[in-house]
């Protein structure tokens, strides 16, 4: 089916923490292949694998030094070919994570670019002279803290980095850069991937005139999208990202993918203009099919009212868009901890997520109800957390290994895992929950199965959304079917529903 992605359920795998087969304490591609039957048993449509490309691992793979190589920690190209073959045998599509906005500073393109001001790749990254007073070219800030500019003594210029200083930003205004990235995407399509998750899709272009960002008016500040200590949240991002030139590039990318039937889920990180971008990127054919959205990835709770508000805003600003929802991922506190959910509550949210209009990304371990790991400073590996500790503890707490069974390290590795396996996770292992008919794991299987039982949940319209106290209600319909969905998102009985009950009625 050509539009398999519409309403698909996608399972995100963080390769470092999924399954180790070599005993080095780090997950690998062979481990993913070994565990694919578990993924298939959930009934999902596809997997998204976080980066496994050659990398110095300063940002654990989101800093790529060779886009066409497999990092030896994760295995070989033969391992990757086997993974794809096995996934396809099991009926799973494979999406890989392309980090095109920036490379590692160890990428040969950057080594060449930084060597002089007049080499063949001099303009492949964003180089700029200081302001006359010697300060950085603009006031732009890095998400991971500090200015977005790093001084380079050899070129006597600054280069742009939206994340770590070791993640220099590629210059998309240069057509050769675009061509090189398109070639690279073709390389992976040739190996059989079904599409891409595109990292930080709205960071590709910067303002070519290098204008300063204005301050963000206080009413637009969203303190919970990043650590409160991070001034990044107090600046408008009018000029450092989300530039209009991106649309033409996305169209080029889509045109190259079209003959291969490949799909894109693009990650839009923009708390000011996110909805407008959602419509521009996915609401117009020929750009990207789906956009990964952040609405359910933050906040202290997820009330019926908030869900209603999210859909009302989307209906108003992005009526033609196709979102891809997630509650957890490798960057944020796991949602059962973020929202302090009981197993019953986690069940209800899983069902509601499956019933809403949009595609869905589940994050490994979510189906087990794993809570966020409570790590000590000594355990931290994430540079973002190390920088902002203790106000922000970083992203390691959601990246600890999967727990498969009751053996050593939950069956993840026979060696010392790169992040500890929390004791509290062990009783929630796949084996333990497989054996228990009433487990959350079995609930996820049933909930995902609803998208097969009721095809309108995949692609039907969503109307009549409202909240009465804690009870969320909406309707999904297409020309075959009409469903009324009601969910009590609270600990007490309400609206004729038991606590955390979700009701689906076929009209
Ligand atoms: O921009 C944001 C909020 O306005 C961020 O949420 C941003 O989109 C997010 O941090 C991007 O994350 C992705 O790219 C990073 C990497 O460290 C993350 O793991 C990845 O998910 C840099 O490549």
- Taking only the tens of pLDDT, the chain with its 507 residues reads 579 999 999 999 999 999 999 999 999 999 999 999 999 999 999 999 999 999 999 999 999 999 999 999 999 999 999 999 999 999 999 999 999 999 999 999 999 999 999 999 999 999 999 999 999 999 999 998 899 999 999 999 999 999 999 999 999 999 999 999 999 999 999 999 999 999 999 999 999 999 999 988 877 776 555 555 667 888 899 999 999 999 999 999 999 999 999 999 999 999 889 999 999 999 999 999 999 999 999 999 999 999 999 999 999 999 999 999 999 999 999 999 999 999 999 999 999 999 999 999 999 999 999 999 999 999 999 999 998 888 889 999 999 999 999 999 999 999 999 999 999 999 999 999 999 999 999 999 999 999 999 999 999 999 999 999 999 999 999 999 999 999 999 999 999 999 999 999 999
pLDDT for the residue 376: 96
Cα separation, 399 vs 470, whole angstroms: 32
pTM over 0.90: yes
Index of the ligand 1 atom closest to the CA of residue 294: 6
* H/E segment holding residue 82: helix 77-89
Tell me if 388 CB under 6 Å of ligand 1. no
344 belongs to the catalytic site: no
Contact of 502 with 485, CB cutoff 8 Å: yes
Portions of the chain given CATH number 2.60.40.1180? 461-506
pLDDT for the residue 238: 95
CA angle 48, 50, 53 (to 5 degrees): 125
Give, for ligand 1, the residue of 62, 204, 222 to mutate: max count of ligand atoms closer than 8 Å to Cβ. 62
**Phi/psi of residue 114, nearest 5 degrees:** -85, -10
Say which DSSP state 269 is in. -
3-state SS, residue 293:
coil
Tell me if 97 CB under 6 Å of ligand 1. no
Tell me if 59 CB under 6 Å of ligand 1. yes
CA of 57 to the centre of ligand 1 (A): 15
CA-closest residue to ligand 1 atom 2: 269
Tell me if 98 CB under 6 Å of ligand 1. no
Index of the ligand 1 atom closest to the CA of residue 267: 8
pLDDT for the residue 218: 76
Tell me if 293 CB under 6 Å of ligand 1. no
- Position of tokens 């117009």? 284
3-state SS, residue 93:
strand
**Nearest C-alpha neighbor of 366 from the set 436, 297, 305, 420:** 297
CA of 498 to the centre of ligand 1 (A): 38
Tell me if 459 CB under 6 Å of ligand 1. no
pLDDT for the residue 107: 98
Tell me if 396 CB under 6 Å of ligand 1. no
Contact of 162 with 148, CB cutoff 8 Å: yes
* H/E segment holding residue 452: helix 440-453
- Position of tokens 């973002």? 384
pLDDT for the residue 392: 87
453 belongs to the catalytic site: no
CATH of 461-506, one of 2.60.40.1220, 2.60.40.1120, 2.60.40.1180, 3.90.550.10: 2.60.40.1180
CA-closest residue to ligand 1 atom 1: 269
Instruction: Write out the CATH class of domain 9-103+174-452.
Output: alpha beta
């Amino acid at each position: 089916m050509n539009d398999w992605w519409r309403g698909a359920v996608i399972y995100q795998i963080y390769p470092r923490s999924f399954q180790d087969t070599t005993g080095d304490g780090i997950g690998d591609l062979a481990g993913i292949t070994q565990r694919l039957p578990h993924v298939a048993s959930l009934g999902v449509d596809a997997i998204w694998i976080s980066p496994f490309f050659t990398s110095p691992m300063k940002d654990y793979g989101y800093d790529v030094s060779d886009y066409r190589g497999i990092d030896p920690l994760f295995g070989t190209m033969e391992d990757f070919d086997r993974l794809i073959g096995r996934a396809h045998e099991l009926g799973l599509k494979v999406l890989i994570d392309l980090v095109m906005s920036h490379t590692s500073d160890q990428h040969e393109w950057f080594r060449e670019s930084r060597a002089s001001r007049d080499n063949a790749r001099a303009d492949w990254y964003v180089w700029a002279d200081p302001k006359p007073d010697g300060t950085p070219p603009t006031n732009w800030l890095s998400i991971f803290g500090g200015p977005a500019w790093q001084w380079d003594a050899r070129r006597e210029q600054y280069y742009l980095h939206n994340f770590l200083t070791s993640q220099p930003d590629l210059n998309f205004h240069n057509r050769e850069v675009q061509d090189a990235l398109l070639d690279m995407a073709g390389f992976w399509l040739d190996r059989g991937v079904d599409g891409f998750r595109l990292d930080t899709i709205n960071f590709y272009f910067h303002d070519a005139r290098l204008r300063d960002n204005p301050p963000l008016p206080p009413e637009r500040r969203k303190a919970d999208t990043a650590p409160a200590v991070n001034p990044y949240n107090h600046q408008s991002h009018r000029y450092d990202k989300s530039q209009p030139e991106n649309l033409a590039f996305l169209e080029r990318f889509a045109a190259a993918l079209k003959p291969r039937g490949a799909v894109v889920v693009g990650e839009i990180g923009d708390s000011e203009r996110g909805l407008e971008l959602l419509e521009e990127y996915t609401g117009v054919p020929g750009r990207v099919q789906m956009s990964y959205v952040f609405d359910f990835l933050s906040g202290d709770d997820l009330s019926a009212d908030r869900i209603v508000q999210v859909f009302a805003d989307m209906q108003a600003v992005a009526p033609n868009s196709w979102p891809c929802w997630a509650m957890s991922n490798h960057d944020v506190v796991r949602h059962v901890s973020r929202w302090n959910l009981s197993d019953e509550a986690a069940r209800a949210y899983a069902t509601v997520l499956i019933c809403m209009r949009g595609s869905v990304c589940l994050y490994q371990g979510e189906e087990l109800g794993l809570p966020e790991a409570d790590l000590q400073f000594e355990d931290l590996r994430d540079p973002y957390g190390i920088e902002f500790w203790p106000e922000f503890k970083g992203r390691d707490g959601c990246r600890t290994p999967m727990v498969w069974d009751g053996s050593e390290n939950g069956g993840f590795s026979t060696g010392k895992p790169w992040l500890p396996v929390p004791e509290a996770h062990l009783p929630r292992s796949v084996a333990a929950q497989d054996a228990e008919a009433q487990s959350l794991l079995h609930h996820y299987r049933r909930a995902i199965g609803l998208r097969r039982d009721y095809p309108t949940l995949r692609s039907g319209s969503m109307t009549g959304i409202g909240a009465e106290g804690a009870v969320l209600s909406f309707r999904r319909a297409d020309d075959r079917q009409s469903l009324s969905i009601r969910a009590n998102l609270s600990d007490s009985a309400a609206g004729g529903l038991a606590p955390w009950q979700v009701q689906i009625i076929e009209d």
